[in-house]
Amino acid sequence: MTNQTSNNSPWVAYLASVDGWVYQSAEDAAEDVGADGEVRIGVVRGSAALIEDDGGLRLPDGVYWAGDQVFELELYIDGEGNEAESAAVRFAQARAMAAGLNAAAGAPSVSVERPDDEHIEIHVNGTVVASVNHDEHGWSGMDAAEKTAVAVARAFGAGVRS
Encode pLDDT of 13-64 as tens digits: 999 999 999 998 899 999 999 988 999 999 998 888 888 888 788 999 877 7
Let me know: does 28 contact 56? Beta carbons within 8 Å. no
Minimum mean pLDDT range among 22-26, 52-56, 69-73, 137-141 = 52-56
Identify the band that residue 7 occupies on the pLDDT scale cut at 50, 70 and 90. low
| pLDDT score recorded for residue 104 | 82
| pLDDT score recorded for residue 159 | 65
Q: Check whether 8 has a pLDDT greater than 80.
A: no
DSSP character string of 18-69:
TTSBEESSHHHHHHHH-TT-EEEEEEE-GGGS-EEETTEEEPPPS---TTSE
Q: Check whether 1 has a pLDDT greater than 60.
A: no
Let me know: does 158 contact 107? Beta carbons within 8 Å. yes
